Amino acid sequence: MPDSEPARTAGAPYGGPAPGPGRRLLLRTLLRSTATMAVLLTLYYVAPLDGGRIDRATVLELVAGLVLFCGLAVRQTLAVMRSDHPRLRALEALSAVVPLFLLVFSTAYYLLARNAGHSFTEPLDRTDALYFTVTVFATVGFGDIAPLTTTARVLTTVQMTADLILVGVIARALLGAVQVGLRRRADAAPGPDRDPG
């Protein structure tokens, strides 16, 4: 059997590799990723955001949230490079970084709408704020919710700029980290019998 052809196991579906640690690792990664997103979303909905006014402290909290996001992105990128399974680790990283990014802006939109009700074309509850954040992130812009005030437009512009940075820089950094991790793994353990990841 040539070296380039994967080993086949009798009883494996479609003559492919037998199920084993790779599938368990993938399942564990998917469960952790789903749990991370669920925890972040739950925290967003239960956080006590109903009081207070928007002031310098609120702006500093938004900046702190973005700094936390950047720190998490750097930490996750380094973890991907050191991982034995960089592709799966990158999936986990994205499941933490992207929701955190979206929820930071959703929180800002929600607070702005609560403190200055005329900031958007309609009042925003937490779900509406999340919906607006995702439509801006996805560049869909349905037009049902739009920023009306200068503050709301500036905040939306900051998110659009950060979206481009997230997609262009962070995604590229994670892809590069996966490649570094795969090269490191290949250098450390050459051979066809490695786990996928």
What are the tens digits of pLDDT across the range 10-36? Answer: 444 444 444 556 788 888 889 998 999
Per domain, the residue ranges of the chain are 20-44+58-188
Q: Is the pLDDT of residue 8 over 50?
A: no
Nearest by Cα to 102 from 66, 74, 145, 72:
66
Cβ–Cβ < 8 Å for 147, 136: no
Specify the fold of 20-44+58-188: Helix Hairpins (1.10.287)
Q: So what's the pLDDT on residue 196?
A: 56
Q: Is the pLDDT of residue 4 over 50?
A: no
Q: So what's the pLDDT on residue 2?
A: 43
> pLDDT by residue (tens digit) across 68-83?
888 888 888 888 888 8
φ, ψ at 149 (rounded to 5°): -90, 165
Q: What's the rounded mean pLDDT across residues 105-126?
A: 91
DSSP class of 196: P
With b meaning 16 or more CB within 10 Å and e meaning fewer, what string describes 86-125?
A: bebbbbbbbbbbbbbbbbbbbbbbbbbbbeeeebbeeebe
This prediction has a pTM of 0.75
